[in-house]
Chains A and B, each alone.
Chain A
Amino acid sequence: MGTVVKSVRVKEEIWESFRRISKEENRPLSQLINEALERYLAEKAGKIAAEKIRKLPELSLGPEPLTREEIYEGRG
């Protein structure tokens, strides 16, 4: 299942590598290409998420370590 994609230009050596792997592993080209695209998209999403962590605001919350005692005990 999937969409038939037309007119995508692929470097000759990349295409040949995919065909070789497809033969060696006895798996359809479509499956290999789908896997590669999925991996690329996951990597891209990971990089975007990591940048969001790096861009978090920096707060001044004091130098004391955070413990569960502080979180759960007392009412302050």
Chain B
Amino acid sequence: MRVGVDTNVLFYSLNKETPFHKEARENLALLVEKGQAVIAQQNLVELVVALTKRGIAPQEASSYAKYFSEIIPIVRPTGKTLMLFLDHVRKAALQGVRLFDLYLALTFISNGVDHLYTYNKKDFQNIEDLRLWPPS
């Protein structure tokens, strides 16, 4: 089993002011220990954006993204990702910001990742081939 890790998990593992902090950090550590955690390039870009929007200096935000990139394997969009994306947009009639969720999910799926660890479960519930982790 490979588990794609959403940006909010990375963010909460750093942010001690969220109630999810300890859980996100420990779950992420366990997934990394088992060699199951995977992130997408998109996650690291989003993490830097989120950190800088919350007041972290760009240099520091970049160093956290680099830190994660050295610990967790990174998957990248493939030619299949784009085809799946365009097909899903047509069928699901999603729009706006939700399309970034979709693109992330399809990046994982097109790399053979079958689970997603996120704290925004409702945004990913209707995506076939990607189960939410941990199962509720």
Contacts and interface: CB of A to CB of B under 8 A. Distances in A.
Interface stretch (B4-12, B80-88, B109-117, B126-134): B4-12
A54 B100 CA distance: 29
Given A52-B71, A69-B97, A73-B97, A42 B35 contact: yes
B93 to A, nearest CB: 18
A49 B33 CA distance: 6
Contacts of B18: 61, 63, 65
Contacts of A50: 29-30, 32-33
Contacts, number: 91
B67 to A, nearest CB: 7
Interface in B3-37: 7-8, 11-19, 21, 25-26, 28-30, 32-35
B33 A66 contact: no
Contact of B14 (A58, A71, A76): A58
A6 B125 CA distance: 55
Contacts of B64: 56
A24 interface: no
B120 interface: yes
A64 to B, nearest CB: 8
